[in-house]
Chains A and B, each alone.
Chain A
Amino acid sequence: MTRLAVWIAAVLFAATPAVAQDLGVDLHGFAEFATGARVRDDPLQEDDILLNEARFRLELEHFTDRAEFAFKSDFTADGLTEEVDVDVRQAVIVVRASDWLDVRAGRQVLTWGTGDLLFLNDLFPKDFVSFFIGREDEYLKAPANALRLTFYSSLVNLDLVATPVFEPDRSITGERLSFFDPGTGTLESATSSGGELTASRPARELGNGELAARLFRRVGGYELALYGYVGFTKQPSAFDPIADMPTHSPLNAYGASIRGAVAGGIAHVETALYDGDDDGGDDPNVANSQFRGLIGYERELAPDLTGGVQYYVERVLDHDQLLAASPNPLFEPSETRHLITTRVTYRLLQQTLTASLFAFASPNDEDMYLRPSLSYAWSDALTVAGGANVMMGGDATFFGQLERGSNVYLRARYSF
């Protein structure tokens, strides 16, 4: 696999500029080196280095009046796994099929919803490992093989996204970052538990895919949306006792959001109901249904200084039944998780230097996560970025379990 990937990369690299030009294809990309290390000792992990990779990105685009082809792939030499990974982030055909229909077919990154680094109705795949170890923000979103149809009308617009084969989050598996296992009540890592955490996926059959829908329109300056999702929990939050491994249980979700200008800033409100596969809430192997709510506000405080604040709540339904049925009630999530986030972004030196601090804190679960970062555009081509991911809290808390994965990182990117 490794050798093949290198060959593919080499051939593409060597051949594409000439071919691209002949075909009228735009060629872009970047080369990036990233390194990062944990700042606390994790006895469960062998390596203090969390990030050590050279990444080459190739982007090809071709446009016609009605259609567009876009290809985007990363080739990453990972010093930790000593492998070369090929991650195709986009291979999509976009067709403006008619006045009222856009079609986007293929591998693509998808996002909707109003939250800032909080996702309620956005049940498209995410990569939490990348997010916590200091890769660029874009890697929080993972690609999926999907068909997106967008219907436009004067009354309302409709987005339909079909993902025929379920695409889960790229979640924490114990490699690089240790995690809390409520089954044992301890922190676990790939080293401590003899391998990465693997989860079973729904069988690859029709009917085991995902369908997401968004109905949206603007009313004056306000954007209104209704959302629906039929699929599976994106995290392996259920346990399959027969296979003796975590799994993804069926999930339906419904929600709504509104976003608009308020007092010189932008306010957003979003709610979602996660209707899980545990109707009475008494199946200890399946996560209970949840209500999620979010309210946020962002505005410019001074030129080039932006501040934002969000309040987010996650309420577990049938919590009493959950506790009653749980073998480890102590490690079950609290009935209501309150979370406050703040963002401060300051751009200096004619916006070539960006300083940012994003903070998550839960007053009732007593865990928090700080994301300071500094990014400097040396030129249009060369950008240098550094920052930290600092997680704190008890072992059984959402961010606290990652405390020993707290890290600092540095990246340099040359774009072309």
Chain B
Amino acid sequence: MRQTIARISLLLLLGLGVTVGHAAAQDLTDVAEIVRRANNASYYAGGDGRAQVRMTITDASDRSRVRQFTALRRNISEGGDQDYAVLFSRPADLRNTVFLVNKHVDGDDDRWLYLPSLDLVRRVAAGDKRTSFVGSHFLYEDVSGRRIADDRHELVETTDTHYVVKNTPFDPDGQEFESWTVWIEKATFLPTLMEYVDDAGEVYRRIEALEVQEIDGIPTVTRLRASDLRSGGNTLSEFTDIEYGLGIPADVFTERTLRSPPRRWFSSR
């Protein structure tokens, strides 16, 4: 049976992750249903949204670097394709760089990067899912989403507050982990903790939601940390100026935005 699960995705990572918490009177037992709700909540609420994101990357020797950007997201259909546009403001060598993703649920995403110093529009291959996103401890797959059908899902525990779901990839060669487990908060359907386990059964990577705020009535992750437990490095993502339901037009997510990002949509009111 094909099962689905909520995944931490760009939405969540960018603080646009959303769920309308219908406080469930009764616990769900169907993992597919948990996953469907969490997926819709994490990915598709609000129709569209914007956030200012600040990633602080800290290495094992406590040196830190900062990535700062504005992220826009728009749903094409509920549960279907989506568009993302990211405009960087820090550091200096990434300033005015634009990252554009047309995410496809069936098939590879289309991704572009605009490098302003060369006036160069680069196409980014879809293959590099397990690569670090701009040097942070978040991966492209954390950002643009892991395909639901890539994993087998199993409800391993239901606590007072969380559903605990274990995910095992169908293709073990496609990624560096053996499995990953996610704690989905019952009240909000937000994933609040994810742990990645290697071949030896050790947890080597962790993503934690450190703070959830209600924005426009929508519970939203506003601080999220990814930790590499082997190296000791971590990246803290902080989301501010989060807004939903802006009515961002479709043409904001086209090549035009790469060369001349519309400031109207990228700057907070």
A residues neighboring B (CB under 8 Å): 28, 30, 63-65, 68, 94, 96, 99, 102, 104, 108-112, 137-138, 140-141, 150, 152, 157, 216, 218, 221, 223, 259-261, 264-266, 268, 298-300, 303-304, 306, 347, 350-352, 377, 379-381, 383, 415-416
The chain B residue sitting closest to A297, CB to CB, is: B125
- Contacts A63-B263, A96-B260, A351-B135 given: A111-B120 contact, CB under 8 Å? yes
Bound together, the chains give a CA A64 to CA B267 distance in angstroms of: 10
Which listed residue (A138, A157, A268) contacts B117, Cβ 8 A? A138
Contact A111 B119 (CB under 8 A): yes
> Is B1 interfacial (CB-CB < 8 Å)?
no
Lowest 4 A-B CB distances belong to which pairs? A415-B92, A351-B135, A264-B127, A380-B91
Q: Among residues 50 to 77 in chain B, which have CB atoms less than 8 Å away from a CB atom of chain A?
A: 57, 59, 63, 65-66
Which listed residue (A30, A112, A300) contacts B127, Cβ 8 A? A300
Nearest CB on B from A221, distance (A): 5
Bound together, the chains give a CA A28 to CA B110 distance in angstroms of: 31
Classify chain B's interface size: 35 or more
A-B contact pairs, 24 of them (CB 8 A): A64-B263, A68-B260, A102-B260, A109-B119, A111-B118, A112-B121, A137-B118, A140-B118, A141-B118, A218-B255, A261-B123, A261-B125, A261-B126, A265-B125, A266-B124, A300-B125, A303-B131, A304-B128, A304-B131, A304-B132, A350-B59, A351-B135, A380-B66, A381-B92
Determine the chain B residues whose CB is within 8 A of the CB of A216 once the complex forms.
255
Bound together, the chains give a CA A260 to CA B93 distance in angstroms of: 27
The chain A residue sitting closest to B233, CB to CB, is: A350
Determine the chain B residues whose CB is within 8 A of the CB of A65 once the complex forms.
263-264
Which listed residue (B90, B108, B126, B233) contacts A380, Cβ 8 A? B90
Contact A264 B126 (CB under 8 A): yes
Contact B130 A303 (CB under 8 A): yes
Determine the chain A residues whose CB is within 8 A of the CB of B36 once the complex forms.
none
Which listed residue (A150, A351, A352, A383) contacts B256, Cβ 8 A? A150
> Is B262 interfacial (CB-CB < 8 Å)?
yes
Interface majority SS (helix, strand, loop, mixed), chain B: loop
Bound together, the chains give a CA A331 to CA B49 distance in angstroms of: 62
Task: Using A104-B260, A109-B117, A261-B123 as known contacts, list a sample of 9 further A-B pairs with CB atoms less than 8 Å apart, ordered by residue number in A.
Answer: A68-B263, A109-B118, A111-B120, A137-B118, A261-B125, A261-B126, A265-B127, A377-B65, A377-B135
The chain A residue sitting closest to B91, CB to CB, is: A380
Which one of A65, A96, A111, A351 has the greatest number of beta carbons of chain B within 10 Å? Answer: A351
Determine the chain A residues whose CB is within 8 A of the CB of B137 once the complex forms.
350
- Contacts A110-B119, A261-B110 given: A96-B262 contact, CB under 8 Å? yes
Contact digits for B121-152, partner A, Cβ 8 Å, 1 yes 0 no:
10111111011101111000000000000000
Q: Among residues 99 to 124 in chain B, which have CB atoms less than 8 Å away from a CB atom of chain A?
A: 102, 108, 110, 117-121, 123-124
Bound together, the chains give a CA A285 to CA B135 distance in angstroms of: 52
Contact A28 B92 (CB under 8 A): yes
Bound together, the chains give a CA A168 to CA B235 distance in angstroms of: 46
Which listed residue (A28, A63, A223, A264) contacts B125, Cβ 8 A? A264
Bound together, the chains give a CA A348 to CA B65 distance in angstroms of: 15
Bound together, the chains give a CA A157 to CA B260 distance in angstroms of: 15
Nearest CB on A from B204, distance (A): 14
Contact B92 A416 (CB under 8 A): yes
Determine the chain B residues whose CB is within 8 A of the CB of A152 once the complex forms.
251, 256
Bound together, the chains give a CA A94 to CA B135 distance in angstroms of: 31
Nearest CB on A from B70, distance (A): 12
Contact B93 A415 (CB under 8 A): yes
Bound together, the chains give a CA A266 to CA B126 distance in angstroms of: 8
Determine the chain B residues whose CB is within 8 A of the CB of A381 once the complex forms.
91-92
The chain A residue sitting closest to B94, CB to CB, is: A380
Which listed residue (A104, A221, A260, A380) contacts B92, Cβ 8 A? A380
Q: Among residues 231 to 269 in chain B, which have CB atoms less than 8 Å away from a CB atom of chain A?
A: 233, 251, 255-256, 259-260, 262-264, 267
The chain B residue sitting closest to A61, CB to CB, is: B96
Which listed residue (A96, A140, A221, A383) contacts B110, Cβ 8 A? A221
Bound together, the chains give a CA A303 to CA B130 distance in angstroms of: 6
Nearest CB on B from A72, distance (A): 9
The chain A residue sitting closest to B231, CB to CB, is: A350
The chain B residue sitting closest to A95, CB to CB, is: B260
Nearest CB on B from A109, distance (A): 5
Bound together, the chains give a CA A259 to CA B260 distance in angstroms of: 21
Bound together, the chains give a CA A96 to CA B261 distance in angstroms of: 10
Nearest CB on A from B206, distance (A): 16
Determine the chain A residues whose CB is within 8 A of the CB of B92 once the complex forms.
28, 30, 380-381, 415-416
Determine the chain B residues whose CB is within 8 A of the CB of A112 once the complex forms.
121
Determine the chain A residues whose CB is within 8 A of the CB of B117 once the complex forms.
109, 138
- Contacts A264-B127, A266-B125 given: A352-B259 contact, CB under 8 Å? no
Contact A383 B118 (CB under 8 A): no
Contact A259 B91 (CB under 8 A): no
